[in-house]
Every structure is written in C-alpha cells, then in structure tokens.
Amino acid sequence: MAQDLTVPVKPGKIIAVHVAFNSRAAQRGRWPKKPSYFLKAASSLAPSGAEIQRPEGTELLAFEGEIALVIGEAAKNVSLEQAWDHVAYVTASNDLGIYDYRAQDKGSNTRSKSRDGFTPLGPELIDARHIDPKALRIRTWVNGELVQEDGTSDEDLIFPLAQFVADLSQHMTLETGDVILTGTPAGSTVIVPGDVVEVEVDAPTAAGAPTSGRLSNTVVSGPGDFDPEIGMLPNIDDKQRADAWGTPELAGLPTDPHAISPELRAKLMAAPTAGLSAQLRARGLNQVVIEGVYPQNVGTKIVGPARTLRFLPEREDLFKTHGGGFNAQKQTFDGVREGEVLVIEARRQPESGTLGDILAIRAKARGAAGVVTDGGVRDYEAVREIGLPVFTQGAHPAVLGRRHVPWDFDLAIGCGNATVVPGDLIVGDDDGVIVIPRALAEEVADAALAKEHEDEWVAQRVAEGGRLDGLFPPTGANKEAYQAYLAANPVKFPTPENGTAHDSR
C-alpha cells in the first residue's frame, strides 16, 4: 500500500462513526442528533489488494465505503474551527462488518467489525491541506458496478467532517496516525465470496483532482473457528438481514414486518371487539382493553398492527431537549406505515393534545389505519373532518408541552392500562379498543366469528320468545338444534376482495 512514511501504517486508534450521511439515515429511518462512535482494532487494517475473508458459518458480510481521516498533529480539546488543521490526510476505507455478530455485540461492533483485514485503507493519501472538506466525493463499486456515490457538502452530511475531530478530541487525545472512519452513505449491502469491492475518495473540484485511487479487495471464504465453549456463535434474525442488505426488500423480507394478511384483516373487521375480548379472556388474557378511549365518530372500525409512541410526564428541562424540532412525536407520525394503527401512551391524561390536525393529515397521507390515544386531541372537529379514525378520551385545546414530553417510539408501551407491543393487532369499534397478541390473532378471530354466528341464532330464538336458561349459551336440546342449524348454515368468513363472506365448509 502506498503510504507516506510520516503516517504510520497501523494507527494507535481506529474510530468509526455510526451514521453521518443523510442518505444512510434516510435509508434507516433514523437521524442522530449528535455523532456517536465505536472503536475498531488496529489489527483490522489491511492494504488494497488484500483478501477479505468471510468466516464459514456466516452469511451477512457487508461493505461500507467510507472516507478515512488520518490525524497529523495531535489533537486535544480543539475547536471546530481548528479541527481540520489536525487532519493530515484523507483516503478511502472499507468498514467491513459481519452482521451475524452485530446483535451479540450490542453496539460495540467488536466481533462484527474488528476481525483481521476488516478495515482496508488506501491505496494513496490525499493531502488534507489542499482540499475543501466539504467538496470530497466517495464512490464504491462491487464487481465493477457503481453502488455508492455521495459527497461531503452540508446537504450530504449530517455533521461536517471536522466535527468528528473536534468532538473526539474532547474525550481523548487524537494522536498522529490515528484514523477516523466517517460513516457510509446509502448503498451498503451484503457481499459474498468472489465479489470485488472497490472504494475511491477524490476531490474532483480541487486543483489536480487528487484521488486516493481505487481501494480494491476480493471476498473469499475463510475458516470460522468459532468455539462455543469460548464465546458466542454467529446468529442472525430478520432485523440484521434487513440492515445488512440495506432494506427489507433487498433482503427478500416483507417491507413491513408487522403487516397482516388481507384475509386476517377482513376477519378482524367483521368481528366485534366484544366477541374478540371474550375469546381472549377464554385464553387467559383479561387486561387487553385500552380503557377510556372511544371513536370520534360512531360506527368507526379500525384494524391494524400497532405502531407505538410514548410520552413522559412534562418536565421543562426535558421538553427543551426533546419537545422541539423533529421530535419523537413527529418522527412517529412521519414514519407510520400503511395499515398501521398509531397507539399513543399519554398516561390516561386528557388535559393536553397528543395530536392535532397537521399530524392527522400526515398520518392519513401515510395510509395509517387510525390513531388510538389515551390522552386528548387538539383541533378536535378539524381532525374529525380529515377522516382519519381516531379513538381518544376527548378534546382539549392545549398544545404539546402542558402535560407531556414526546420521548420515544417503536417500543412496548402502556396505553389505557393495557400493554401494547409493536406489531400487536389493534381492533376498535363503538365498544372501545382491544389489543390482540399476534400469535393468537387468527385463532381468536375465527373463534369470535363462530361465536357471533351462534349468538345470532340465539338472538333469533330469544326474539321468538325463547327462555334464556339453556339457550344462552345453548345446552341440551338447544345445543343439538344449533348444531343442526350450523351444519346447514356454516360460519361464513369475509373475503378481502369485496368484504363478502365465504363459508367454512
């Protein structure tokens, strides 16, 4: 690897930024407010031309083309204005990682990213003194196909490159030769043995258009050597697959992991919450009702997987840090998926709005099935006119910040004294709202519809003058009569195409 001898080939520290490019954040759906980092072992460094070994027993090896900053003069507590003066060189890097070990590392990335050879760097160094740090370009090719291309302007990066130097220097001395890997743009995905990955960093508008040259490495199979008696074995799930490939679609997964089938949705739309709740109770689940919430419009029915949002009790200092900007409330409404029910924990306090007309418009535009909040709703009539199904405790004119701090989302919450886990199925009608665990949904829906069929027969007999004893529920002769009726008139389930029913025979 071509290397200026004044900069060590193996730095004392390699520090990597988690997320820095807007394109990457948009792909993941999460924007960091401040930079965060992890360390890579210096022994992971490799030159251009070195082979990248994917260990046997793993499948999710992903590349990340990155811009590497090489520290020149040591930096300790330097300002943002001075930080770039401490960068000697810029070059290309590939921040490789095995997602099979990502969950076990719990954010440290120690095993997933610090294997020998997992930080190719080079091949040439660009003198940082003669380039504009906001005018760099990074490109990555896999087998000759361009898969990543991004810049370092204020529009491209969440944080300027110099900020990483200034920030890290507050906590440690950045020494000569240390390397900072500055995050990857969108396009990172899985590579397999035989693939050739090339990364190049250049400054196309600078004099002479300096370039790092193409950092080229080939993926090969290597030994796993994972001893279960010593440490954890590789393990993956759908979340790691989606993150490694870049998107659920590329990983061959459903776009929405919480999506329900049209057939199940049609059944739940037809089943009353009263019947569903009875079936849940028969299976030992009693605390499934979101207490105190009712639809804005009589006759409203909602069905969909839960997307959750949690508010904490108002605290002025926390509202200053979490209440403004693109806060958790706005992120949740902006990211709700088609068919989802947005469920809001507001601690059963209706004395402040948890949504208003603008947020309702956004949720409707995103295709949300509805909103359930155990707090209040601002712009109550305007929200009603928007047509988004909303279940709430009622109206309240106060803005956000009177009772609540928007805190976090996509986690288990307590709404109306019921626990709601993301992906649980929410069903609401005029009787209220219930929560159905995903694993029981099909069974409970079928049972509720079957019981509804029986209740309709019972209601007809009662209307004809029948006594409740022995009829509700049917026993003895009444049970035999119902069984005969059922044989001739089986339970009918709605079809997703048109909402009509088909029988169970």
CA distance 198 to 193: 15
Residue from 431, 406, 434 nearest 420 by CA: 434
**Annotated binding residue at 358?**
yes
CA distance 273 to 244: 40
CA distance 53 to 427: 49
Secondary structure of residue 155 in the 3-state scheme: coil
CA distance 444 to 328: 33
CA distance 7 to 190: 32
Amino acid identity, position 256? D
Residues ≥6 apart with Cβ < 8 Å to 210: 126, 127, 130, 131, 202, 203
**Annotated binding residue at 357?**
yes
Say if residues 344 and 377 touch (Cβ distance below 8 Å). Answer: no
Secondary structure of residue 496 in the 3-state scheme: coil
**Annotated binding residue at 378?**
yes
456-474 as b/e: b if 16+ CB within 10 A: ebbeebeeeeeeeeebbeb
Residue from 44, 23, 249, 53 nearest 138 by CA: 23
CA distance 483 to 215: 75
CA distance 486 to 191: 57
**Annotated binding residue at 359?**
yes
Secondary structure of residue 60 in the 3-state scheme: coil
Known binding-site positions for substrate: 356-359, 378
Known binding-site positions: 356-359, 378-379
Known binding-site positions for Mg(2+): 379
